[in-house]
Structure 1
């Protein structure tokens, strides 16, 4: 028996097209990180070959230092690891949409506009397609957590623009004193509403909400 009626939005007898149909620009957007890494690797290789052929080793030393020095520090390794998880989670989110009913009748899935590391995991900003809403992501929250190899997920809807959804992927407890970068700073923490009635907001969010109500 399904946990939520939104888990079965299409009748079982309906013959739907295969999910994942999208234009070339959308497909390129989904692999933008991999394309940028491939371009950076190509530039590094060409620079190295040009430097060795001309007997100039300074560009090679500078480029090698720019890569090896950050990787040798704990902060650099944490940065690399957190962004690798962002790429993995983005692809796993897309796979969940393909494997479930979180796609349109034409086979198009929501767009992951941006994903950023946080102190507890990752946060993904998603633009839904027509026929898909934030409540459907909440209905599939357990599937998303399992697909992303995470502890749990939290789903938030924008207060005024319901086509925007934030999916928070929780992998660990929040480190004391850690700052959550990215979505919270750019879009404002008070712009998002949790879909879980029993969800308890952090103290700083409750204080911000109280100040907002007092101002009105």
Structure 2
């Protein structure tokens, strides 16, 4: 895909502040998974020390069983692996914004509101900052795919709210089976428009008359 001026939106000689700035809540939200993991490890350590001190091992056994039993199953391991990839992709997305011009002149980067696993990779819901749009994410699609070690990246914008962007990271062929419902369940697929004009909407997004016209099906009755 030919590059466009959005890839060089700032003059080369302009002295911009360091990217990555933001409010404290935004910075905490970016590392929410790490904070939750740290809290879980702290709870496990506290339970172990309490059990060792007072001899009450049942709470520690119950807590470790709740963690180890799901990890011993294939579905549990797949769930853990899928969500680890979500954390990795979130950090790689943020790093791409820092290393490119996908940040404001004040150094603020888009906020990854949510990221969930899909059958082909991950899907991230992103809140853009003032001065950044879905078109810029599409312009940097190749950089995002390379940063996330993926095959390709699909970018979608919301039909009503242009500040909401979905970045779909495709890293493998579709894997059958149950996975997290992800954004499709919470936001629906009808609300998003592909940034690539050559990509058609999936058939399940079309009404029956539209589908009949596309397939040139004869009318019944």
Which aligned pairs between 1:133-148 and structure 2 lie closer than 5 A?
133-148=133-148
Aligned to 2:215: none
**Greater shift in the superposed pair: 47-56 or 182-191:** 47-56
Aligned to 1:50: 50
Counterparts of 1:147 and 1:89, CA distance in 2: 8
Counterparts of 2:209 and 2:164, CA distance in 1: 20
RMSD over aligned CA atoms reads: 1.7
Deviations for 1:146-165, whole angstroms, at most 9, x for unmatched residues?
00011110000000000000
Aligned to 1:86: 86
State yes or no: 1:154 paired with 2:154: yes
**If the length of structure 1 is used for normalisation, what is the TM-score?**
0.92
Counterparts of 2:46 and 2:180, CA distance in 1: 37
Aligned to 2:126: 126
Secondary structure at the counterpart of residue 22 of structure 2:
coil
Secondary structure at the counterpart of residue 107 of structure 2:
coil
Counterparts of 1:37 and 1:174, CA distance in 2: 29
State yes or no: 1:189 paired with 2:193: no
Paired residues, what number? 210
State yes or no: 1:37 paired with 2:22: no
**If the length of structure 2 is used for normalisation, what is the TM-score?**
0.90
Counterparts of 2:71 and 2:23, CA distance in 1: 37
The answer as to whether partners of 1:10 and 1:101 remain within 8 angstroms in 2 is: yes
Which aligned pairs between 1:67-106 and structure 2 lie closer than 5 A?
67-106=67-106
Counterparts of 2:62 and 2:205, CA distance in 1: 44
Counterparts of 1:68 and 1:98, CA distance in 2: 37
The answer as to whether partners of 1:190 and 1:208 remain within 8 angstroms in 2 is: no
Counterparts of 1:183 and 1:60, CA distance in 2: 35
Kindly state the Cα deviation for residue 60 of structure 1 after the two structures are TM-superposed: 1.7
- Change in Cα spacing, 1:183 to 1:58, as seen in structure 2 (3 Å) is same
The answer as to whether partners of 1:119 and 1:174 remain within 8 angstroms in 2 is: yes
Which structure 1 residue ranges, 5 or more long, are not aligned? 212-216
The answer as to whether partners of 1:156 and 1:193 remain within 8 angstroms in 2 is: yes
Which structure 2 residue ranges, 5 or more long, are not aligned? 212-221
Aligned to 1:214: none
Off by >3 Å, runs of 4+ in structure 1: 176-180, 206-211
Secondary structure at the counterpart of residue 113 of structure 1:
strand
Aligned to 1:16: 16
